[in-house]
């Protein structure tokens, strides 16, 4: 959670940076010693401590292990990553963190299933300012961090329906696209994942302009989150959530079965196999 100092909110990255510095100093290490012993660049570690850079979650896992801090840094990182997103999306991500059941429909490759290189190439296309590289890396780190949710215990039950459009329009070069397809093939076989493709043959449908996510918590409460046409909306009203659930069920009925969806991924992978 973010802290408040002198009436002003302190970002999660700053809180994480202070924790990193505290642990380093408690261990009696200089930045140089830490860099040498962990293999991370000294200037990179310095920027993490100053709160000017968001790392990948795997870096925090490494440093938690190095300091013997349990999952302290990972938990701080999970709060810090929210700084990269707008308020309504932050609320959705907080609910996503504790969801026991997730159901998603996307037109493209969902962020939860993107490889690092695919995410970087897709995100870099939208950020062309002078500090674009830095912004891209922060967005990539935050996106990959969401995938940590799929590894937490107990694992959430996840159903993803993806439009065939995503498989037919590679957004990146051959090698990156090949690796992304391989990752989709692997994810489709995870025991907590039901993966389906909505084929072109299903025709026009009611979510052609964006994505839909449904989340259920342990207590049975549910929310829906819609994105499309440059806007997003978190839906909490039970009647409207039920309506969105029914619309999702209709998409599921139109989609290929999980085995047939896996077969389609493999067919596309064969077509685009990288030498």
Give me the residue spans of the domains in the chain. Answer: 3-82, 86-271
Is the pLDDT at 93 greater than 70? The verdict is yes
Q: Tell me the fold of 3-82.
A: 434 Repressor (Amino-terminal Domain) (1.10.260)
Residue with tokens 């969105």: 244
Q: Kindly report, residue by residue over 105-121, the tens digit of the pLDDT.
A: 999 999 999 999 999 88
Q: Kindly report, residue by residue over 2-36, the tens digit of the pLDDT.
A: 444 333 456 777 888 999 999 999 999 999 999 99
Q: Does domain 86-271 have CATH number 3.30.870?
A: yes
Which pLDDT does position 40 carry in this prediction? 93
Which pLDDT does position 1 carry in this prediction? 44
**145, 81 Cβ separation under 8 angstroms:** yes
Name the β-bridge partners of 235.
Answer: 224
Is the pLDDT at 128 greater than 60? The verdict is no
Question: Which segment, 13-22, 131-140, 179-188, is predicted with the most confidence on average?
Answer: 179-188
% of the chain with per-residue pLDDT over 70: 89
Say how many C-beta atoms besides its own lie within 10 A of residue 201's C-beta: 8
Residue 104 main-chain phi, psi, to 5 deg:
-130, 145
Of 61-65, 208-212, 262-266, the range with the lowest mean pLDDT is 208-212
Q: What b/e sequence results for 16-31 when a residue is b if at least 16 CB atoms lie within 10 Å of its CB, and e otherwise?
A: bbbbbbebbeeeebeb
CB-based contacts of 59: which residues, under 8 Å, 6+ apart?
Answer: 40, 48
**145, 60 Cβ separation under 8 angstroms:** no
Which pLDDT does position 3 carry in this prediction? 47
Tell me the average pLDDT of the chain.
86
Which pLDDT does position 220 carry in this prediction? 92
Q: Look up residue 78 and give its two tokens.
A: 């999970």
In sequence order, what E strands does 143-270 have? Answer: 157-163, 193-198, 210-216, 222-228, 231-235
Q: Look up residue 144 and give its two tokens.
A: 């990959």
Q: Kindly report, residue by residue over 253-270, the tens digit of the pLDDT.
A: 999 999 999 999 999 999
3-state class percentages of the chain: helix first, strand second, coil last, to nearest 5: 55, 15, 30
Task: Determine whether 176 is exposed, middle or buried from the number of CB atoms within 10 Å of its CB (0-12, 13-18, 19+).
Answer: buried
SS3 labels along 52-102 = CCCCCHHHHHHHHHHHCCCCHHHHHHHHHHHHHCCHHHHHHHHHHHHCCEE
Nearest C-alpha neighbor of 46 from the set 60, 26, 32, 64: 32
Structure confidence at residue 242 as a pLDDT band (50, 70, 90): very high
């Amino acid at each position: 959670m973010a802290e408040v100092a002198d009436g002003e909110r302190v970002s999660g990255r700053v809180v994480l940076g202070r924790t990193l510095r505290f642990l380093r100093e408690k261990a009696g290490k200089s930045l140089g010693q830490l860099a040498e012993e962990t293999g991370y660049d000294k200037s990179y570690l310095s920027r993490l401590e100053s709160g000017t850079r968001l790392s990948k979650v795997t870096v925090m896992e490494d440093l938690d292990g190095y300091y013997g801090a349990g999952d302290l840094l990972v938990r701080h990182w999970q709060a810090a990553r929210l700084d990269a997103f707008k308020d309504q999306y932050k609320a959705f991500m907080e609910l996503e963190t504790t969801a026991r059941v997730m159901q998603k429909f996307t037109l493209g490759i969902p962020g939860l299933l993107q490889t690092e290189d695919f995410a970087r190439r897709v995100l870099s296309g939208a950020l062309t300012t002078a500090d674009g590289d830095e912004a891209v890396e922060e967005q990539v780190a935050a996106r990959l961090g969401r995938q940590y949710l799929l590894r937490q215990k107990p694992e959430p039950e996840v159903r993803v329906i993806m439009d065939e459009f995503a498989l037919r329009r590679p957004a990146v070069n051959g090698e990156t696209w090949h690796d992304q397809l391989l990752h989709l093939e692997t994810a489709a076989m995870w025991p907590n994942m039901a993966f389906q493709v909505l084929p072109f043959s299903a025709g026009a449908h009611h979510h052609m302009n964006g994505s839909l996510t449904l989340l259920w918590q342990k207590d049975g409460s549910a929310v829906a989150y819609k994105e499309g046409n440059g806007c997003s909306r978190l839906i909490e009203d039970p009647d409207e959530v039920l309506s969105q659930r029914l619309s999702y069920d209709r998409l599921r009925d139109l989609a290929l079965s999980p085995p047939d969806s896996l077969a389609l991924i493999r067919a596309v992978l064969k077509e685009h196999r990288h030498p």
